[in-house]
Amino acid sequence: MSDDRETDTASEGSYQLSRHKKSPSSLTNLSSSSGMTSLSSVSGSVMSVYSGDFGNLEVKGSIQFAIDYVDSLKELHVFVAQCKDLAAADIKKQRSDPYVKTYLLPDKGKMGKKKTLVVKKTLNPVYNEILRYKIDKQILKTQKLNLSVWHRDTFKRNSFLGEVELDLETWDWDNKQNKQLKWYPLKRKTAPVPLEAENRGEMKLALQYVPEPVPGKKLPTTGEVHIWVKECLDLPLLRGSHLNSFVKCTILPDTSRKSRQKTRAVGKTTNPVFNHTMVYDGFRPEDLTEACVELTVWDHYKLTNQFLGGLRIGFGTGKSYGTEVDWMDSTSEEVALWEKMVKSPNTWIEAILPLRMLLIAKISK
């Protein structure tokens, strides 16, 4: 996922406070459209590797390919030659319309996906195509190469025919034999590791709800939510030993750029200290039930930001302002923090929560 962001020049040890002004109704104004929020998976390639039809066809046959790293171009070349003895998607006519798809995992962006052309009506397709990845060799050594074969029917539905996975960390790039075309037996889809089980690190933070008394009225009508992002612990390294992380905050259902705040980026550590407080005002008591604080951690590299993990802190009811929404999916630990904050106004409630994979709502303009 890429995302434009300005740099923040604050010194690393400083304590930062940013405030978001909004009218009390800005959350509810969005409620009518919140259910329509388009969701795009930040896990990109990884999620679409697992989309499609896996169950119907047996996996058989093999694929012939070779890989090489071209130092002068800083490119990985995957030469996909052919497949043989594939499973037949059309049982009656004993044929398929196969193509080959490659990914570099755990690359989370669409950059990671390449495809050959579809070869129709055959179980022994010949491709002779080179799929290229522009990638630094050190980063490549942290990746896995996944080749999968798919049948594409006339309605553009895909059926899985088998896959091969190479661990590039242990690959011997200097061995000339490794540059030769080789046959690999196709394997069944290994069940993906549940995304929750992946260790994405943790965030130490504190929340506080500050009701604003209105002169002449006993009960406050609106209040502020304060979010103090203290630090992250054990963040994952996606590109070798490099990491330059920052935290972004959005109060859902408001996905407008105006509602978004972020910390500065902290480099060269998997345990960045941010000490940054974000303040959102205009919260009526009922908004606390319908809104959700989404905190996401990103690795900023050149012109792109790669998603590391996130939190969604709210009541986790699955609904917002009467509309069913995917993002109201807080874990029990995230719900517990929000409940304590709502029950104890004017008090900092601290927690250390595990970061997790999220489907991110697209930012509206």
| DSSP line for 161-215 | EEEEEEETTS--TT-GGGGS-EEEE-BPPPPPPPGGGS---EEEEEEEEEEEPPT
Beta pairing, strands 202-212 & 222-233: antiparallel
pLDDT digit string, tens, across residues 153-188: 877 778 889 999 999 988 999 898 999 999 999 998
Judge residue 22's burial from the number of C-beta atoms within 10 Å of its C-beta, 0-12 exposed, 13-18 middle, 19 or more buried. middle
Cα dihedral 287, 320, 199, 337 sign:
positive
Pick the range with the lowest mean pLDDT from 22-26, 124-128, 253-257, 357-361: 22-26
Q: At residue 341, does pLDDT exceed 90?
A: yes
What integer pLDDT is reported at residue 120 of this predicted model? 94
Higher pLDDT, 124 or 15: 124
Closest CA to 243 of 327, 193, 301: 301
pLDDT band at 218 (very low <50, low <70, confident <90, very high): low
Q: At residue 54, does pLDDT exceed 80?
A: no
Query: Which of helix, strand or coil describes residue 39?
Result: strand
What integer pLDDT is reported at residue 189 of this predicted model? 75
Enumerate domains of the chain plus CATH numbers: 46-185 (2.60.40.150), 201-355 (2.60.40.150)
What integer pLDDT is reported at residue 220 of this predicted model? 67
Q: What is the CA radius of gyration of the chain?
A: 24
Question: Quick one: tokens of 13?
Answer: 């040890």
Q: Full-prediction pTM beyond 0.85?
A: no
- Whether 275 and 266 have beta carbons less than 8 Å apart is answered as no
Share of residues in the chain with pLDDT > 70 (%): 76
- Whether 300 and 1 have beta carbons less than 8 Å apart is answered as no
What integer pLDDT is reported at residue 109 of this predicted model? 53
Higher pLDDT, 207 or 268: 207
Distance CA 107, CA 3 (A): 16
Beta pairing, strands 266-267 & 113-115: unpaired
Distance CA 309, CA 103 (A): 21
- Looking at mean pLDDT, say which of 14-18, 61-65, 357-361 comes out highest: 61-65
Over residues 86-112, mean pLDDT: 82
Question: How crowded is the C-beta side of 13, counted as CA atoms within 13 Å?
Answer: 0
Q: At residue 194, does pLDDT exceed 50?
A: no
